[in-house]
């Protein structure tokens, strides 16, 4: 596995490669969720590039940028063992300069759900993803369905800015007890982790209600909120795959999303029905 930190060196390295390239952008602290993105990228492409870059512009003031888990050596090992061909490991000054051009997320879709409590977060995400995609110029790029709003906005950006990369959604990976894998799970104490299971329980309840024929969004949201109580709830939403609000669940076209705070940790999860 080749490790490169300079964007120009990476561009040069990839310039004459005629293979299909799968790209997995990450912020490090890799877990099974990231490994499943890498696996998918390996299945579908002849070459795989992973980036590890803790992107400062997607953190708001006072958020967890400083304490975000860092596991550089373990991450390199995971990439190597997963058969990654190139690991892109830039520093902040390799990616950002001063007085920069940036991408603005859409005024509505970028400022609802997670974007409502983290205004501007998605500008940072879209800007760094655009930069990374321009450096790697991959055939396909892989994003987890757990961050469904991020995936939706990145897909929109690729479509609306006529980019040629294919954005590939990858299923969420869960612990045996249902907790969706996230680098931020590392912040949870034992008791908080138990509390966090309410998130996947609420989603399981929603899917059980739909299986029994309950499709009224209001009724499902209310039942989910009961399961989540007394956690601080940012949102419980039932949307179509384009992220428009649904009154009734439409099988094959629905995402049910939850974001809560467990102690000081924001956690999000969703299911696609």
What is the SS3 assignment for 73?
A: helix
Contacts of 217 (CB under 8 A, 6+ apart): 238, 245, 246, 247, 248, 249
**Segment near ligand PAF (CB under 6 A); pick from 24-32, 99-107, 195-203, 215-223:** 24-32
Binding of ligand PAF by 125 (CB under 6 A): yes
Helix axes 217-228, 190-211, angle to 10 degrees: 160
Closest to ligand PAF by CB, 57 vs 254, is 57
d(CA 34, CA 211): 30
Ranges of H-type helices in the chain = 7-15, 32-44, 72-81, 92-95, 114-117, 121-136, 148-160, 190-211, 217-228
**Segment near ligand PAF (CB under 6 A); pick from 23-31, 84-92, 207-215, 252-260:** 23-31
Residue for token pair 């006529």: 162
Pairing of strands 265-272, 140-144: unpaired
Query: Is residue 31 annotated as part of the catalytic site, yes or no?
Result: no
The distance of closest approach from Cβ of residue 6 to ligand PAF in the complex, given in angstroms and rounded to an integer, is 19
Binding of ligand PAF by 129 (CB under 6 A): yes
Binding of ligand PAF by 25 (CB under 6 A): yes
Closest to ligand PAF by CB, 206 vs 265, is 265
Closest to ligand PAF by CB, 36 vs 206, is 36
The distance of closest approach from Cβ of residue 186 to ligand PAF in the complex, given in angstroms and rounded to an integer, is 14
Among 55, 152, 202, 270, binds ligand PAF (CB under 6 A): 55
Residue for token pair 């612990």: 175
Closest to ligand PAF by CB, 23 vs 234, is 23
Query: What is the dihedral sign for C-alpha 273, 271, 151, 88?
Result: negative
Among 147, 195, 237, 259, binds ligand PAF (CB under 6 A): 147
Closest to ligand PAF by CB, 167 vs 260, is 167
The distance of closest approach from Cβ of residue 213 to ligand PAF in the complex, given in angstroms and rounded to an integer, is 35
8 A C-beta contact, residue 269 and residue 182? no
Of 13, 31, 34, 121, the catalytic one is 34
Torsion of CA 51, 57, 62, 68, to 10 degrees: 0
The distance of closest approach from Cβ of residue 141 to ligand PAF in the complex, given in angstroms and rounded to an integer, is 9
* Residues involved in catalysis: 34
Chain contacts with ligand PAF (rule: CB under 6 A): 25-27, 55, 58, 125, 128-129, 147, 150
């Amino acid at each position: 596995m080749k490790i490169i930190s300079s964007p120009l060196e990476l561009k040069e390295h990839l310039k004459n490669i005629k293979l299909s390239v799968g790209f997995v952008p990450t912020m490090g602290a890799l877990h099974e969720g990231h490994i499943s993105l890498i696996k998918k990228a390996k299945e579908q492409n002849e070459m795989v590039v992973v980036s590890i870059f803790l992107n400062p512009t997607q953190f708001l003031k006072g958020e967890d940028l400083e304490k975000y888990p860092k596991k550089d050596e373990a991450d390199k090992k995971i990439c190597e063992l997963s058969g990654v061909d190139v690991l892109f490991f830039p520093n902040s000054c390799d990616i950002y300069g001063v007085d920069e051009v940036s991408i603005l997320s859409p005024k509505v879709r970028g400022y609802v759900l997670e974007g409502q409590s983290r205004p501007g977060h998605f500008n940072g995400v879209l800007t760094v993803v655009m930069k990374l995609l321009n450096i790697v110029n991959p055939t396909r790029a892989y994003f987890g369905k757990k961050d469904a709003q991020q995936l939706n906005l990145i897909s929109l950006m690729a479509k609306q800015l006529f980019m040629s990369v294919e954005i590939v959604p990858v299923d969420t990976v869960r612990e045996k007890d249902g907790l969706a894998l996230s680098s931020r799970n590392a912040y949870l104490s034992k008791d908080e982790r138990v509390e966090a299971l309410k998130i996947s329980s609420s989603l399981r309840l929603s899917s059980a209600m739909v299986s029994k024929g309950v499709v009224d969004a209001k009724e499902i949201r209310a039942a989910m909120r009961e399961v989540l109580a007394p956690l601080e709830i940012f949102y419980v939403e039932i949307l179509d795959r384009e992220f428009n609000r649904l009154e009734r669940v439409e099988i094959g076209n629905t995402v049910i999303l939850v974001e809560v705070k467990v102690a000081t940790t924001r956690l999000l999860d969703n299911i696609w029905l």
